[in-house]
Amino acid sequence: MSMFLEVDHIEKVFPLPNGRHYKALSTIALNVRKGEFISLIGHSGCGKSTLLNIVAGLERPSTGGVVLEGRQVKGAGPDRMVVFQNYSLLPWKTVQQNIALGVNTALKHLPKGERRSIVEHYVDLVGLRAAVHKFPHELSGGMKQRVAIARALAIRPKLLLLDEPFGALDALTRGGLQDQLMKILTETKATCIMVTHDVDEAVLLSDRIVMLTNGPASYIGQILEVPIPRPRQRMDVVNHPSYYGLRSEILYFLNQQKLQKKRKRQQPLTISRHGLEKVNLNLGFVPLTDCAPLVVAKEQGFFAKHGLAEVTLSREPSWKTVLEGVTTGRLDAAQMVAGMPLAMTIGLQDKAPVPMVISLILSRNGNAITLSKDLYEKGVRTLADFKQYLSQPNVTPPTLGMVHPASMHNLMLRYWLAAGGIDPDRDLTLKVVPPPEMVANLRAGEIDGYCVGEPWNSHAVKEGLGFVITHDLELWPGQPEKVLGMREDWADQHPQTQVALVKALLEACQYCDDPRNRNQILTWLCLPQYVGAAAEVIQPGFLRAYDRGTPAQPQVLPRYNQFFVSQANFPDRVEGLWILTQLARWGLVPFPRNWIEVLDQVRRPEMFAQAAQELGLPGIGPDRHQFQLFDGMIFNPDDPMGYLDRLAIKRDIQIQEVLVGASAMAEGRSETIAA
């Protein structure tokens, strides 16, 4: 099914008087559904209005194109109407006449009486009946803009384009007009794209918020979904559990763009040196306690020590945006959940494969499963209690949050549930929730518990919202949690840069596991550009005893956050194989028949070994071995098929050859193992 509007990889280059060129937009690709409201936000000069004008047909793209309902946009037309900030009303015409101008021009095929009825309808729709015979100079700014909106909508366009329509209005008038616009759009079901500088306006009005990077060569840096139901009331939006998280992420994005622009002004272009192919890197992370290695490498100077002159740490709102950043090239590499590189190389949930590699484990452990206090009060203390609770008649199946389908959080939560005889897909609901939004969703009753990394478990405990029913050290001590992930083609093009990056982060991991450094690391993690949480919710398990939110005494867990000790950083392929079995178990990817080849391609211990040896550290990993999790089931890396067959609760498991080192799944045989 084709999209209503397709912006197909457009670029816009303007010629300069000196014969040079200025690239305003670079490879903008965006699909818009019918009836959707999209906001474009970014700093001045990022090309928002240029993009809007291209969609309107007022500008032609240098490359690429715009397709509206299957037809290419080649110029302006009445199917796309623009409302500008400056109203653009004809001063010698009344309210009624300004609205009628467009109707009589674009809808002249309609009878005169029908055209008059359309004009009168939109006069009433924007609440200007009392001013219908007034001229623009007799109207306030808000009233003028209502005329402009009515004039645009009255010709029944397929697409309404708003270029900062409320930017010139005072706050009170702007708020009232925003509310009226929501009502109008509810009635007309128009599709809208709006340029705005106002973060609150974007969250209030939008279904999705498209954030553009700084120019020149601006591109889509991030797209935020706004999961607030319609129709919306202003106070309902403000009180929604996602509101402040969305607002915070937009402000953070804009602030990072501002800082990046400042850095570019202050620093000359850095060229390759120290034998490195690239020395300016953009690395993504999600605000969690175990982002510590990246923070330490930045603050302690390990990146600079190894020739990486300018490393920007990009705080991402979710693992989905991390993946988007690495896939599109916005991020050179990133902290990733452990299953993500393998899942993306194969093709997560039937999506196109994106070959990735990892050469370093950044952290182990650090996760917990938190359930609501309401479940605790209903007698849930253990997994067996939870199973018994779900077996009771008339119990509403609970909803549990996890951070990404390919995360260890999802895989371990599912494993724990299935070990207790609970089918995670049939006995309850699992929902993807970004880590920073877990507590708000628990507080609002949107979820009944979750599996997430710290500090978001301790945050719920401190607020009295939940209790930790189990954690990694009880489920699988030493489990791989976060990895350094990058696209395979990027890694192949930057081998020396990759080694330098691994060396810097390996030294940072070693620094993190020295208890004498934890107080300093805590200070850094509390900074708003990193985790931004209070020290008292980061400390449990990281610096002091772990409180589960139960009557039991807090417990000291020396390796709850493990970064370096016991060969923690080696990208072990046996662990990767277990991850592949679990991804296949739940139908997230097919199990690769050529799993040895897949693991060789994705997990790169040779790159880790080179970096470790250059630091004078051992570059070897643990012996290849069998292991077991808390339920006692043995995982034999020589018989992953047999292991899958022994699992009692699972989905239909697809087995097929996977073409590695390419961006497409192999055709060929596949077979199904009945669950």
- HEC secondary structure over 157-200: CCEEEEECCCCCCCHHHHHHHHHHHHHHHHHHCCEEEEEECCHH
Q: Compute the distance between CA of residue 511 and CA of residue 419 in angstroms, rounded to an integer.
A: 37
Please answer whether residues 168 and 84 qualify as being in contact, where contact means their C-beta atoms are separated by less than 8 angstroms: no
**Residue 589: other Cβ atoms inside 10 A:** 28
Among 195, 194, 84, 192, CA closest to 147: 84
Band (667; pLDDT cuts 50, 70, 90)? very low
Q: Is there a contact between 95 and 132 (Cβ–Cβ < 8 Å)?
A: yes
**85-94, 196-205, 226-235 — which is least confidently predicted?**
85-94
Alpha carbon distance 532, 38 (integer Å): 29
Please tell me whether the overall predicted TM-score, pTM, comes out greater than 0.75 for this model. Answer: yes
Instruction: Tell me how crowded residue 302 is: count the other CB atoms within 10 A of its CB.
Output: 24
Whole-angstrom distance, CA of residue 589 vs CA of residue 580: 8
Contacts of 420 (CB under 8 A, 6+ apart): 383, 384, 386, 387
Amino acid at 209: I
Higher pLDDT, 498 or 86: 498
pLDDT digits (tens, 9 = 90+) for 276-290: 999 999 999 999 999
**3-state DSSP helix/strand/coil % of the chain, to nearest 5:** 40, 20, 40
- pLDDT recorded at residue 299: 97
Contact 656, 664 (CB under 8 A): no
Structure tokens at 250: 């937009």
Residue with tokens 């008649």: 393
CA–CA gap between residue 30 and residue 495 (Å, rounded): 33
DSSP 75-136: S--TTEEEE-TT----TTS-HHHHHHHHHHHHTTTS-HHHHHHHHHHHHHHTT-GGGTT--G
CA atoms within 13 Å, Cβ hemisphere of 476: 22
Mean pLDDT on 331-349: 95
Which pair of tokens denotes residue 103?
Answer: 């109707």
Closest to 224 in 3D by CA, of 9, 437, 81: 437
Pick from 219, 211, 196: nearest CA to 12: 219
Q: What is the pLDDT of residues 170-202, one digit of tens each?
A: 777 777 777 877 877 787 788 999 888 889 989
186: number of Cβ within 10 Å = 12
Whole-number pLDDT of residue 490: 96
Q: What per-residue confidence (pLDDT) applies to 424?
A: 97
Most confident stretch, 30-44, 187-201, 382-396, 607-621: 382-396
3-state secondary structure of 378: coil
The pLDDT score that the predictor gives to residue 515 is 95
More confident residue, 556 or 657: 556
Q: What structural domains and CATH numbers belong to the chain? A: 5-256 (3.40.50.300), 267-366+479-573 (3.40.190.10)
What residue type is assigned to position 33 of the chain? R
The answer to whether 560 touches 542, Cβ cutoff 8 Å, is yes
Buried b (16+ CB within 10 A) or exposed e, 147-167: bbbbbbbbbebbbbbbbbbbb
